[in-house]
Amino acid sequence: MAESVTITDNRTGESVEVPIVNGGVDSAAWSKLMPGTWFYDPSFSTTAAAESSITELDGGAGILRYRGYPIEQLAEQSTYLEVAYLLLNGELPTETQMADWSHEITYHTFIHENVRKRFMEGFHHDAHPMGILVSTLAALSTFYPDAKDIFDLESRQKQIIRLIAKMPTIAAGAHRHSVGMPFVYPDNSLDFTSNFLSMMWRVAEPNYEPNPVLAKALDVLFILHADHEQNCSTTAMRVVGSSHADPYSSAAAAAAALYGPRHGGANEAVLRMLNTIGTLDNVDDYVKDVREGKMVLQGFGHRVYKNYDPRAKIIKKIAYDVFEVTGKNELLDIALKLEETALADDYFVSRKLYPNVDFYSGLIYQAMGFPIEMYTVLFAIPRMAGWLAHWSEMLDQNSRIARPRQLYTGSGVRDYVPIAQR
């Protein structure tokens, strides 16, 4: 028996049977039965606005897979650039494909000098790095007019390579501008994450060699943040892209969505919470305040995951690896006790409030020396691969321009009254 649902319009007695396909139902059949009646879903939490073969997310089971590959396997065995290739192309690369892909990315890391001198250096000296990043991404569209040929596959591939390659350069440049340090050019002898660390931290040394443990940890974090299905920023990428805007403008919109504290700023909130708790002795009292609604437990719970975020388990292990190099941070002990206390409390377990990806990532970034202002930027660098994968998929699907409807709640028809008579 085929899976389906039957809906009846009680006003007319008419019914329609709607098949369930891939866990969803086609709204077109409902619309034929009830024309002019709209589904009310303000945050799109129960609405599938796209079909996608990129990322599978099962929040109830705590599953995250890129193109069918479990995130756990990719984090342990892969690299960020390999995962980026997978997201964009649907398959893991061969050795030859990987070598060519890495070469292309490596030799497109430089940015036009006028991007740096006229745009990035034009910001106020203490401008937020994420604000610089968003604006610079938008500005890139003026440097690559061929990017508007979005249905030219060769041109599209050029823009994809440029965006992934230049993100670390722009990100590091944004940080150094915000703290008054000179711009550092990419070092093509280094791998993707090591090159980023070099552009971040190099001062006067001719060659910068990052600690391999820290470079690997950052690479894993990049893998974990590469994509996460139809989140706010990815949806922004697809919505703007559906107008056939160039990928730089679409990516700037996605980055702007990520800039919001409800999306990309969660790990900052976790760090501030841990600093507020201050000591191990204060954990129990803080948890009590959370239960009483006086405080918020940052880094717990997720809009999608109703189980332990699989990324959080991986990040927790990475935290130990990083602290072995950087030295232990007392905030880690507070975080561990907070997690233990919360998961032993039925108040949180019954509400399915488990640690998410943001709970430990901020601690790692802090240990590696990144200022809080850079945390969202560190999110944006790897997420560019996911944004572009969804953007390209949307174009291949020949998707219609995004145009949701509304439920009008304003005044009925009114006649205009001249101002002297009001």
Q: Structural domains in the chain?
A: 4-39 (no CATH), 80-218+229-255 (1.10.580.10), 266-304+312-367 (1.10.230.10)
Active site residue 112: no
Three-state DSSP string of the chain: CCCEEEEECCCCCCEEEEEEECCEECHHHHHHHCCCCCCCCCCCCCCCCCCCCCEEEECCCCEEEECCEEHHHHHHHCCHHHHHHHHHHCCCCCHHHHHHHHHHHHCCCCCCHHHHHHHHHHCCCCCCHHHHHHHHHHHHCCCCHHHHCCCCHHHHHHHHHHHHHHHHHHHHHHHHHHCCCCCCCCCCCCCHHHHHHHHHHCCCCCCCCCCHHHHHHHHHHHHHCCCCCCCHHHHHHHHHHCCCCCHHHHHHHHHHHHHCCCCCCHHHHHHHHHHHHCCHHHHHHHHHHHHCCCCCCCCECCCCCCCCCHHHHHHHHHHHHHHHHHCCCHHHHHHHHHHHHHHCCHHHHCCCCCECCHHHHHHHHHHCCCCHHHHHHHHHHHHHHHHHHHHHHHHHCCCCCCCCCCCCCCCCCCCCCCHHHC
Q: What is the pLDDT of residue 15?
A: 87
Selecting among 228, 302, 309, 390, the annotated active-site residue is 302
Q: What is the pLDDT of residue 1?
A: 52
Low pLDDT (below 50) residues in the chain: none
Selecting among 227, 309, 358, 390, the annotated active-site residue is 358
Selecting among 187, 263, 333, 345, the annotated active-site residue is 263
Q: What is the pLDDT of residue 235?
A: 96
Q: What is the pLDDT of residue 154?
A: 96
Active site residue 309: no
Q: What is the pLDDT of residue 314?
A: 93
Active site residue 175: no
Q: What is the pLDDT of residue 30?
A: 76
